[in-house]
Amino acid sequence: MTKTDLRPFTGQDLDWLVAPHVEHYAAEEGFDASFGDLVAEILDAFIADHDPQDEAGWIAWQDGQRLGSIFCVRLDERRAKLRLFLLMPKARGQGLGRRLLEVCTDFARAKGYTGMQLWTHESHAAACALYRRNGWRMTEERAVTSFGRALIEQTYRIDF
């Protein structure tokens, strides 16, 4: 198996990162185009405003192809927020998701954050199981209608 590199996110990754979010979540979850709009907004804000001292994004690369992403952004003075965690289907089941999660949480710890938070949906069962296996706990859950679907939003947190 070829080694997978984790590289810093750059503006050149923007279109790639929006496209698989849109394609995957439309096909697998039935999300409408508003989900792609949200991903693009998050990335535009990151490019425009992120503090490289305390925030970072990574793209997983293998054999010239992007396989996934994860971002650590400031939530407040004490906590970071995990965002845009994506793993392409062909990269699943190989430990890359765990590696991305560890890189992100290790970065947050090293920057002095006391914990992290993330927002997800109950339907993302594999990701939620990964979070729980790595010490995250669900702290909030509520029924919503988002992205053209009835969903159960969840908030997970981890303290360091």
In a domain, 74, yes or no: yes
CATH number of the domain at 99, please. Answer: 3.40.630.30
Residue 138: the pLDDT is 98
Instruction: Give tens-digit pLDDT for 89-147.
Output: 889 988 999 999 999 999 999 999 999 999 999 988 999 999 999 999 999 999 999 99
Distance CA 36, CA 46 (A): 15
Tell if the pTM clears 0.85, that is, is over it: yes
Looking at the domain assignment, is residue 124 inside a domain? no
For 27-80, how does the pLDDT look when each residue is reduced to its tens digit (9 = 90+)? 888 999 999 999 999 999 999 999 999 999 999 999 999 999 999 999 999 999
The answer as to whether 62 is a domain residue is yes
Please choose, from the candidates 63, 78, 73, 99, the residue with its C-alpha nearest in 3D space to the C-alpha of residue 9.
73
With beta carbons less than 8 A apart as the criterion, state whether 25 and 124 touch: no
Question: What would the mean pLDDT of 80-91 be, rounded to a whole number?
Answer: 94
Q: Does 129 map to a domain?
A: no
Residue type, 152: I
Residue 122 belongs to some domain of the structure: no
Main-chain phi, psi angles of 62, to 5 degrees: -150, 130
Q: How many domains in the chain?
A: 1
Range of the domain at 39: 5-113
Q: Is 107 inside any structural domain?
A: yes
pLDDT of 89: 87
Residue 127 placed within a domain? no
Structural domain includes residue 38? yes
